[in-house]
A and B are shown apart, each in its own frame.
Chain A
Amino acid sequence: MSRPAALRLLLVVGAVALLEIASRLAWIDPISFIPPSRMAEGAWTILASGRYLDDIVLTLATAGAAVLLSISAGFAGGIALFRFPRLRRVLDPLLLSWYAVPVFIFYPMLIVLLGLNRWPLVAIGFLFAVAAMAVNTLNGLERVPQVLLKTARTLRLGRIDEIRLIILPASLPFVFTGIKLSVVYSFLAVIAGEFILSGAGFGYQIAYAYNNFDNETMYGLMLLLLTFVGLVNLALHAAEQHLYQRRVPRDG
């Protein structure tokens, strides 16, 4: 293990240990902040009992649908922005302030549009993630070397073949950054939507436990969520590193 990685591990372990001691010895309010060991216990109880399995599956399915939709629409949107520079210049201010307006506020309209089910939440996740995917796709397309595009023209490839055989492989590492952001953002939006608005799902259960002063469950659920997000991030990061090493030659 490298020195920074070892120090990082030490730091995290130290922080957890400090929290454990601080809450056990009641340096910090033991009612509002329970020791990490009891959080882990809570998380294990939740997993073992299977009590929240339905909510977890529901959240995963909702976020999954949002990820799929935002990746496909964002990719198409990125290509459109690349092909029509004027469109891009016009939409630029919109993309810049996209993330400052909480998309959740359109929930009532989305309910009327899509019905009182999980689709409004899917739409919220989609709206939150699609801009990041489009911008990163655009970014990747701009980095496709001119010579590859010329090759495509020389070989008289059709539009579809050009995208499939040339553009997509050449821009993949950058497009993958968009995919990574889509996954993270869809998840963020779905959890936040559940937390504030919905009556089911992982985010809702955390809010519910908070409102009922059920700290053991609340911290247990948070720990599970953090572990899950951490694992997803780790997997995405590994896949990304792999892509970068394979596709992008080191700049000399």
Chain B
Amino acid sequence: MMEGLARSSRPLRWAIRRDWADAAILVAAILAGWTVASWLLGEAVLPTPRGTWLRLLDEFGDPDFMDHLEATVRAFGTAMLIASAGGIAIGLTLGARRLAGDVMEPVLITLYSIPKIALYPIILLMFGLDISARIAFGVIHGIIPIIIFTMTALRNMPPVYARSARTYRLTPFRTAWHVLIPAAMPEIVAGLRIGFSLTLLGTLLGEMFASQYGLGHLLMRSMERNETSTIMALALLLFAFATAASYGLLRLDRYLRH
């Protein structure tokens, strides 16, 4: 499963030498397709890009919206922090100990592929109906790819690195900090990129079910009221955020590879 994703990110990375023309073409094509689709379907079903943009600006002026946005940012930020720190720590441990890694790898891949939403009630029963349940749900979505990428990187690390660390008698913590993390950095960033998307998805899903706060709740409410302009405005916001973050991590990735 994860090997598939790891492999798939590689050709994408080569293609990143994109210039502004490509970005302009993409934006223009999306806008054109979107406008035509909204003419065909009617504005009530699919609002025009202009209408969506105005709606989004409207939302930003609304204090109620800002509260929901803040709730999502807090839940997602915390979840991402826990998933990154925990994922890297667990990945390093499993990667440095071959037997532990061999034992856990299939378990992790199975955990990755189960529909975690079906287990959300358990999380709710464990954490209650507040923000901690949504954070936990974001974490269980995002942490697994980060663990797997970090672990795989360490397993493919030249053995001489680990031997040098032993020769210098580094403590496990200093080995991790000075040797293992720098050696695994590109893969860690690749894992963080996938982990980012999934953590965001998990947090939003958590807000959609049994929650009164956050963008996920707003989305759910607009779906029930069939407010398509709000749905599109929020989709635009999420998409822009995810693309910007993904692009930033890619830049970091390329920078670290030099």
Contacts and interface: CB of A to CB of B under 8 A. Distances in A.
B132 interface: no
B209 interface: yes
B205 A192 contact: yes
Contacts of B57: none
A9 to B, nearest CB: 10
A180 B216 CA distance: 29
B147 interface: no
A56 interface: no
Nearest to B197: A100
B114 A229 contact: yes
A136 B16 CA distance: 17
Contacts of B1: 180-181, 184
SS class of chain B's interface: helix, strand, loop or mixed? helix
Interface in A132-181: 132, 135-136, 138-139, 142, 174, 177-178, 180-181
A88 B15 contact: yes
Main secondary structure, interface of A, reads helix
B12 A95 contact: yes
Interface stretch (A43-51, A65-73, A105-113): A105-113
A191 B25 contact: no
Contacts of B250: 96
Interface string B230-258: 01001100110111001100100000000
B120 to A, nearest CB: 8
A52 B205 CA distance: 25
Nearest to B225: A108
B4 interface: yes
A222 B116 CA distance: 10
A207 B22 contact: no
A97 B99 CA distance: 35
B137 to A, nearest CB: 12
B246 A89 contact: no
B201 interface: yes
Interface string A65-104: 0000000000000000000011011111111110111101
Interface in B4-30: 4-5, 7-8, 10-12, 15-18, 22-23, 25-26, 29-30
A136 B5 CA distance: 8
Given A112-B45, A207-B209, A96 B110 contact: no
B70 interface: no
Interface in B97-137: 99, 102-104, 106-107, 109-110, 113-115, 117-122, 124-126
A8 B200 CA distance: 31
Interface of B: 1, 3-5, 7-8, 10-12, 15-18, 22-23, 25-26, 29-30, 41, 45-46, 99, 102-104, 106-107, 109-110, 113-115, 117-122, 124-126, 193-194, 196-198, 200-201, 204-205, 208-209, 216, 219-220, 223, 226, 228, 231, 234-235, 238-239, 241-243, 246-247, 250
